[in-house]
Amino acid sequence: MAATHSEYRGYLRNTVDMEGGQHRFQPVQSSEPTHRPLLFGTLAVMGLLQVASSVAIFLHLTGYLQEVDLSRAPHRPIEEVQTEPVLNALRDTRKNRRCKTPKESLPSAHLPIKVHQEYSKKGDAKAITIDWEEMHGYRHRMGYQKGKLLVMESGFYYVYAKTCFRYYKFEPEDRSQVPPVDVSNTQLIQYVYHESIKQNSKAVVLMKSGSTMRWNNTTYNMYCAQQGRGVRLDEGDALFVNVSNAWMLDPEGEGTYFGAIKLGN
């Protein structure tokens, strides 16, 4: 009843048949080359999205990007919706960069020479205080009295003055009534004085300029002295200008003037 040796051999394979049977199955192709490009592409997209989100957050925090409500503008072109936040941000930036002007301007004054002033024509070098024209000048939070500019607010000021002298020979109808004036050696000096209230209104020379001119009686002559400087002034101080040979002063306001402006505290 037991199976014979030949019957068992019919059911079993030898090693040669087993090795030959392996070639019947096709080798399975590896899927690694197919998935590798897809993996790299996914990582690249994720990196770009990360960079874009970081830039958007930075722009939003710095104020260059504003939120846009698309539900309120369904019919507006997409270009207008995208550019409007940037334009608004630029407008806001320009507004913030505008300089804020103070509500009230600083104290200042500019006064031209007063015309029709009578000065002696003796030709001496005695200094005389110039009187200035208020009607054609400008004063703001500064006073004026008898040629003196009055300080109403303490601070650091820039003070300036300019005086022009001119002379030309005038032939009178009756030469015997008007003696000739010698201008061959004329001193034309300009002084700017500071009268301090803390020193009992003692006047000290703040600036000085001028020259000794050797003019000709037969031609037109002109000379101008101009100077300016900063100085600390207190409330109640005064400023004024003295000149020698004041009778030679140019009566035009463009050539002879006096002023001050506050620069700060």
pLDDT for 250 beyond 60: yes
Task: Supply the pLDDT for residue 90.
Answer: 45
CA distance 211 to 144: 29
Distance CA 29, CA 122 (A): 124
Mean pLDDT of the residues in the chain: 76
Would you state the pLDDT for residue 111?
97
Mind listing the domains of the chain with CATH numbers? 53-69+77-94 (no CATH), 108-264 (2.60.120.40)
Higher pLDDT, 166 or 18: 166
pLDDT in tens, 104-140: 689 999 999 998 777 777 655 688 999 999 999 999 9
Question: How far apart, in whole angstroms, are the C-alpha atoms of residue 158 and residue 260?
Answer: 6
State the Cα–Cα distance between residues 44 and 83, nearest whole angstrom.
Answer: 28
66's CB contacts (< 8 A; 6+ apart) are: 60, 85, 88, 89
pLDDT at 181 over 60: yes
The proportion of the chain whose per-residue pLDDT surpasses 90, expressed as a percent, equals 41
Task: Check pLDDT > 70 for residue 91.
Answer: no
**Per-residue model confidence (pLDDT) at position 170:** 63
Q: How far, in Å, are 120, 167, 190 from residue 223 at the CA level?
A: 19, 9, 11
Task: Please say if the pLDDT value at position 226 is more than 50.
Answer: yes
Contacts of 142 (CB under 8 A, 6+ apart): 107, 108, 109, 149, 150, 151, 152, 260
Residue-wise pLDDT for 142-155, tens only, equals 999 999 999 999 99
Place of tokens 């040669």: 16
Element (H, E) at 199: none
pLDDT at 77 over 90: no
Q: How confident is the model at residue 81, as a pLDDT?
A: 41
pLDDT band at residue 89 under the 50/70/90 scheme: very low
Is-contact 186 245, C-beta < 8 A? yes
pTM: 0.59
Summarize the confidence of residues 193-211 as an average pLDDT.
94
Predicted pLDDT at 83: 44
Q: What is the Cα–Cα distance from 248 to 222, expressed in whole angstroms?
A: 9
User: How do 138-140 and 148-151 pair as beta strands?
Assistant: unpaired
- Find the mean pLDDT for residues 200-228: 91
Q: How confident is the model at residue 256, as a pLDDT? A: 96
Query: How many H-runs (helices) and E-runs (strands) does the chain carry?
Result: 4, 11
**Does the pLDDT value for residue 70 go beyond 90?**
no
> pLDDT tens for residues 25-68?
455 455 455 566 777 777 777 877 777 777 667 666 555 545 44
Token couple for 96:
């913030």
194 vs 148: CA distance, rounded Å: 10
